[in-house]
Structure 1
Amino acid sequence: MSRVYIFLADGFEDIEGLTVVDLMRRAGIEAVTVSIKETREITTSHGIEMKTDRVFSETDFSDADMLVLPGGMPGTKYLGEHQPLTGLLTEYYAKGGKVAAICAAPSVFAKLGFLKNRKATSYPSFMDQLDGAETCEDPVVVDGNVTTSRGLGTAVPFALSLIAQLMGEEKAQEIAESIVYRG
């Protein structure tokens, strides 16, 4: 079974983070939510209080098949400032691991140098922060081991793309049909 870690900080965009978790779990992927705080309690950008599956400092990521960052503010800012997370992302990316980010979160990848000479997208007001990338307005962009997406309105195609990368296009189509998604 594939294992994906989705990193959450206070102020993450609810739909961008939880759509990925929901659709991956429907596909049979072990989608693990991870708080970057020292507690499992997180408050979303719209004030929903929730608990993550794990806390960053107590998690071994050596079995990861993909690392995912949802957007939202100030969640993206907190993710980008969390040095243990940026260190993990850098090490994982350097080994060719699959990384994905949506909305404002591709800006974290840009700051880490992941988007240099790659095609990428993000939330419109963050496009100018994608230094070194060939930016576009596609809903989801996959360039090598890096996937980026635009925002809440592209959360379903983003999640389906991640499923296709891990389990194949047929599984992604099966999940799309099961949720009555017509992209």
Structure 2
Amino acid sequence: MKFLVFLANGCEDVEALTVVDYLRRADIDVTTVSIHNTKDITSKSNVVISADANLTDIDADDFDGLYIPGGTKGAEALRDDDRVIDIVKKFNDENKLIAAICAGPIVLNRAGVLANKRATSFPDLKDQIDNVKEYVDDQMLVTDDNITTSRGAAVTVYLAMRLVEIIKGPEAIEKLEHGTQLECVEDYYGISYDYLSKEEN
């Protein structure tokens, strides 16, 4: 499994890097890709992130899944990039794994891939997700077939875990919970991955 993570100036730091970290912890091959002329991305919090490649350097056919982080300015830049939209459409046509969080689903909305899907996003952007089968208000993490969407930065860990679960199975989730000590956080606060990731189709 090779995973593509799109990055643009203004991307949300936690949403971009947490998913990369968790996927790589699970031994999933991740390539971060800048849509700009430089590999250096300036995040929403003014952190410089060096992407692995520029969009012009990669062949999207080499990848099995893609992820779009939030951060309104970053997501808008991705939404307005026709190259990104074409890749999202192609991935969906081929039933490849697609994920987006927070403002990221506005990219999927423009690509038209949510028309037959249940999905969520950052609540303030609900009106921009207007080409969707069902907008989900009461769940933080929604998976419908090949597409997973989520609400915002605080849920990023659970989105990452959902992707690992889909790709590698439940045993990989157990290893992540222990390796990151998420199991202790869940015990302390009385929450669980299963609770946060309830959906379903």
- Same fold per TM (> 0.5)? yes
Deviation (angstroms), 1:156: 0.2
C-alpha contact 1:102 1:122 (8 A) present in aligned 2: yes
- Looking at structure 1, the residues matched to 67 and 94 of structure 2 have their Cα atoms a distance apart, in angstroms, of 16
Asked if 1:177 corresponds to 2:182, the answer is no
Asked if 1:34 corresponds to 2:26, the answer is no
Q: Which residue of 2 aligns with 1:134?
A: 134
Q: Which residue of 2 aligns with 1:159?
A: 160
Q: Which residue of 2 aligns with 1:119?
A: 118
Deviation (angstroms), 1:139: 1.4
Query: The residue matched to 1:47 in structure 2 has which SS?
Result: coil
Deviation (angstroms), 1:63: 2.1
Note the 1:30-179 alignment, pairs <5 A: 30-131=29-130, 132-136=132-136, 137-179=138-180
Change (3 A) 1:62 1:154: same
- Looking at structure 1, the residues matched to 42 and 14 of structure 2 have their Cα atoms a distance apart, in angstroms, of 13
Unaligned runs of at least 5 residues, structure 2: 187-191, 193-201
Partner amino acid for 2:64?
D
C-alpha contact 1:4 1:32 (8 A) present in aligned 2: yes
Deviation (angstroms), 1:116: 1.4
- Looking at structure 1, the residues matched to 75 and 133 of structure 2 have their Cα atoms a distance apart, in angstroms, of 19
Deviates more, 1:12-21 or 1:115-124: 115-124
TM-score (norm 1): 0.96
TM-score (norm 2): 0.87
- Looking at structure 1, the residues matched to 16 and 173 of structure 2 have their Cα atoms a distance apart, in angstroms, of 18
Q: Which residue of 2 aligns with 1:11?
A: 10
Which of the pair is proportionally richer in helix?
Answer: 2
Query: The residue matched to 1:71 in structure 2 has which SS?
Result: coil
- Looking at structure 2, the residues matched to 140 and 173 of structure 1 have their Cα atoms a distance apart, in angstroms, of 19
Q: Which residue of 1 aligns with 2:197?
A: none
C-alpha contact 1:139 1:157 (8 A) present in aligned 2: no
Over residues 46-88 of structure 1, what are the superposed CA-to-partner deviations in whole Å (9 max), with x where a residue is unaligned? 0001210110001112221211000002000000011111111
- Looking at structure 1, the residues matched to 97 and 122 of structure 2 have their Cα atoms a distance apart, in angstroms, of 20
Partner amino acid for 1:171?
A
Larger Rg: 2
Consecutive aligned runs of 4 or more in structure 1 exceeding 6 Å deviation? none
Query: The residue matched to 1:62 in structure 2 has which SS?
Result: helix
- Looking at structure 2, the residues matched to 47 and 71 of structure 1 have their Cα atoms a distance apart, in angstroms, of 15
Deviation (angstroms), 1:177: 2.0
Query: The residue matched to 2:60 in structure 1 has which SS?
Result: coil
C-alpha contact 2:86 2:111 (8 A) present in aligned 1: no
Deviates more, 1:81-90 or 1:111-120: 111-120
C-alpha contact 2:19 2:157 (8 A) present in aligned 1: yes
Count of residue pairs the alignment pairs up:
182
